[in-house]
Structure 1
Amino acid sequence: MYIPTQYRNENLSEVKEFLERNSFGILVSQVDGKPWATHIPLELDTDKDGNDILVSHIAKANPQWTQFSEQTEVLCIFNGPHSYISSSWYQEEEVPTWNYIAVHVYGTLKIIDEAAVLDSMHKLVNKYEKNSACPVAIENLSPKTMRQIKGVVGFKIRITDIQAAKKLSQGREHDHPRIIEELNKRDAQAASVASAMTKSNSA
C-alpha cells in the first residue's frame, strides 16, 4: 500500500503486537480472475523453522479456497483504530484528514491437514475464551459438534512482506494536545486513536 515515509511503522515487534491484538482481518486473493475477500481471524504464529506465519480456516462452501495456490501471493489486511480529524482542532488553517493504523501482510499460502486445523482452533478458542465468565474449551465439545471441522479448509500463510501504516498527526505535534482532547470527546474508535497518539508521544 502507499505509505508516506513519515507514517511508515518499521518497528517489527510493535507491528506483531498489533497483529496479535487486531487479528480479525481480510484475506484477499483471486477467484476466477477477480479480487475476492473473506473476513476471518488470521492468527500470528511461527512454524517449525521459526518463520512468521498466519494461520486460519474458511468454509469449504467459500469458493476462495478452490483457487489457493502455493505459487500465488495473497494479501491480508488488518485495520486498527481510525478517526476523522477536524482541522478546526489545529492552530493554523489546514484541510481535515483521517488518522488510522493499518497493516498489510503479504505471503504464500499452503493448505494444512485436519490435525493442524484442530490445533489452530484450540489456540484460537483458548486465546479469546480466557477472559470469559464461562469459557468454552474445544476438548469439551461433543463429537457431533466437532464434526463441523469437516466443513472447513485450514491454511497457513508464510509471510513475505509486511507494510505497516501509523498515521497519527505526525508533523503536527504542536496540535496533539487539542487533537487528543477532541478525540476523547467522541466515540470509542476516536478515543482509541487518542490513546495511540498518547502512547506514541511517550515512546
Structure 2
Amino acid sequence: MYVHPLNRWEDEPEIVEFIQNNPFATLVSNISKRPWATHIPLLLAKDKNGDSILSGHIAKANPQWKELQDEVLVIFQGPHAYISSSWYNHENVPTWNYLAVHLYCSIKLIEGEELMDHLKSLVDRFEEGRPYRVAVETMSEKFLESQINGLVGIELKIKEVHASSKLSQNRDAVNYKNIVKQLEASLYDTEQEIAKEMKKRME
C-alpha cells in the first residue's frame, strides 16, 4: 500500500484499537500464480513470546489454505468518506478520506486444542452483550466435531505494518474544519465516523 508521508500512521495503540474495532479482514495470498482474497474475522492477541499474532479460520473447501506461502497480506479497512471539493474555499479536486492497515505476516496452520481455543475466543468476542449468548462450550460434541472438520485454523505472526490515516492532513485549518462540519452533517454513518477521527486530530 502506498502511504503518503502526511498520512503515515505510526501510533501503535491507535492501530491496535483500530484492528480490534474492525476485525473483519481480507487475507490475501497467491493461488496458482493469481491473487486470492478471503474475507474473515481475525482476533488480535499476543503469543507466549509477546509477539503480536492474529488468529482465524477458513473453510476447508476454500483452496487458499493449500497454497499458503511463507508470507501473506492481511488488510483491515475502517470508515471512509468522499470529500467534495465544493467544501474548499479554493478550486481543487474531490478526494477520499479513509483509515486502513496492511499487515505482512508469516502463517502457520493450527488444529486440535489451539483451533478450539480460537473458536471459543471468537464466539465469546462477538456474542458479548447479546441477550441470548451462544457459547462453543454449550454445543454438542457431535455437532462441534462436524463443524470443526470443515475448518482450517490459521495463526498469523505480524512482521510488518503499513498504516494509512488519510484525513485531509494537507488542508489548512479553515478547510479542515469545514470538511469536518460537512461530514458531521452527512446521513452516512461512515462519513460521520471520519468526522470523529478528524476531530480527534484537532485536539
Q: TM-score normalized by structure 1?
A: 0.95
1:120 and 1:62 mapped to 2: Cα distance?
19
Q: Distance in 2 between matches of 1:105 and 1:142?
A: 36
Aligned to 1:28: 28
* Residue aligned with 1:56, SS: strand
In the alignment, the residues of structure 2 paired with residue 127 and residue 33 of structure 1 have an alpha-carbon distance, to the nearest angstrom, of: 35
Tell me if 1:53 matches 2:53.
yes
Task: Give the corresponding residue for 2:18.
Answer: 18
Q: Deviations over 1:138-163 (max 9, x none)?
A: 11112233120111000101111000
CA separation in 2, counterparts of 1:182 and 1:18?
24
Residue 139 (str. 1) matches residue 137 (str. 2)? yes
**Alignment partner of 1:113 out of 85, 100, 111:** 111
Q: Residues 182-193 of structure 1 correspond to what in structure 2 (within 5 A)?
A: 182-186=182-186, 187-193=188-194
Structure-2 separation of matches of 1:91 and 1:25:
37
Q: Give 1:127 deviation, angstroms.
A: 1.1
1:95-119 deviations in whole A, cap 9, x for unaligned?
1110000000001100112211110
SS at match of 2:201: helix
Please list every run of at least 4 consecutive aligned residues from structure 1 whose deviation after the TM superposition is greater than 3 angstroms. none
Stretches of structure 1 lacking an aligned partner (at least 5 in a row): none
Q: Distance in 1 between matches of 2:183 and 2:44?
A: 30
- What is the letter of the counterpart of residue 108 of structure 1? S
TM-score, structure 2 normalization: 0.95
Distance in 2, matches of 1:58 and 1:171, equals 40
- For 1:86-97, what aligned pairs fall within 5 Å after superposition? 86-97=84-95
In the alignment, residue 167 of structure 2 is paired with which amino acid?
A: L
Q: What is the CA distance between 1:75 and its match in structure 2?
A: 0.1
CA distance in 2, matches of 1:24, 1:135: 20
Aligned to 1:9: 9
Aligned length: 200
Name the structure 1 match of 2:150.
151
Q: Match for 1:196: what amino acid?
A: E
User: For residues 129 and 80 of structure 1, what CA distance do their matches in structure 2 show?
Assistant: 21
Instruction: Note if contact 1:114-1:154 (Cα within 8 Å) is conserved in structure 2.
Output: no
Given that residues 183 and 191 in structure 1 are in contact (C-alpha distance below 8 angstroms), is that contact kept between their aligned partners in structure 2?
A: yes
Per-residue CA shift, 1:160-185, capped at 9, x if unaligned? 10000000110213212221121122
Q: Distance in 2 between matches of 1:73 and 1:174?
A: 44
Where 1:201 maps in the other structure, the secondary structure is: coil
Equivalent position amino acid for 1:182 in 2: Q
Distance, in Å, in 2 between the alignment partners of 1:68 and 1:88 is: 46
Shift in Å, 1:52: 0.5
Q: What is the CA deviation profile of residues 11-30 of structure 1, one whole-angstrom value per residue up to 9, with x for unaligned ones?
A: 11111111111110000001
